[in-house]
Amino acid sequence: MDRRGFTLIEMLVAMVIVGIMGIALVGFLRAQHQTVVRQNTGVLATQNARAAVDMLARELRNAGYSPRGTVSGAHLTTIDGDSVGWTSDMNADGDTLDSSTGKWDERVAYYVQGSSLMRAASGGTGAPVTDNVDSLRFAFFDGAGAATADPAVVEQIRIRLYYSTPEGVQNGLIESQVAVRNNIYAN
């Protein structure tokens, strides 16, 4: 009698309960998975935006590097609300024509195209640095901290990169400020 097993009704009831639990579990897992994926995307977007701003800031700090005194006048060639361009003589050969001088190019511009932050080197076409960019905003300040539109007197540049993921889960702002030392120093 002990080995008779479950009745059909018992089995059905158990299966229904297990089914309901299974469906709930799958739904729960799917929701969790989606959350993880979305958070991953968001974190990735944040990290990419941060890395892009860091790269831009580091490169921009070298603007106007002119150890031979040949980068004359305004070292920043473009100062715009949403783009920046500059020249520098990174390999100290007296001109600003070289590309990839070891690590850096000598004519660089950053701007936004579509939803990509673009970097153009040596007058060439731009290559995307990162995606998910809503907008890129620059502000230029002189030595007294006043906003200026004259590239020759710019000493500080504030960079603001607004980004968002395609799902719109994660959006935010990465901000950095750069001292353009070579616009302050003699050469």
Lookup result for tokens 């070298």: 62
CB 93 to other proteins: min, Å:
9
Q: Which residues have CB under 8 Å from 139's CB, separation 6+?
A: 147, 157, 158, 160
In this structure, what are the phi and psi dihedrals at residue 156, rounded to the nearest 5 degrees? -135, 140
Nearer to other proteins, 38 or 160 (CB): 38
**Residue 81 CB coordination number (10 Å):** 12
Q: Would you say 145 and 156 are in contact if contact means Cβ atoms under 8 Å apart?
A: yes
Q: Give me the least distance between CB of 128 and other proteins, in Å please.
A: 20
Which CB sits closer to other proteins, 43 or 127? 43
CB 152 → other proteins: shortest distance, Å?
Answer: 16
If the CB atoms of residues 78 and 101 are measured against other proteins, the closer one turns out to be 101
Closest separation between CB of residue 10 and other proteins, Å? 8
Half-sphere exposure of 8 (CA within 13 A, CB side): 0
Query: How many Å apart are CA 95 and CA 117, to the nearest integer?
Result: 27
Q: Which residues of this chain interact with other proteins, rule CB under 8 A? A: 1-2, 4, 7, 21, 25, 28-29, 32, 36, 39-40, 43, 47, 50, 54, 58, 61-62, 65-69, 88, 90, 92, 94, 103, 181-182, 184-187
Nearer to other proteins, 126 or 169 (CB): 169
Residue 161 contacts residue 49 (beta carbons within 8 Å) = yes
Q: Which is nearer to other proteins, 4 or 168 (CB)?
A: 4
CA distances from 30 to 22, 23, 158 (A): 12, 10, 42
Alpha-carbon span 170 to 43, nearest angstrom? 8
Cβ proximity to other proteins, 30 vs 113, nearer residue: 30
**How far apart are CB 120 and other proteins at their closest, in Å?**
21
CB of 125 to other proteins, least distance (A): 26
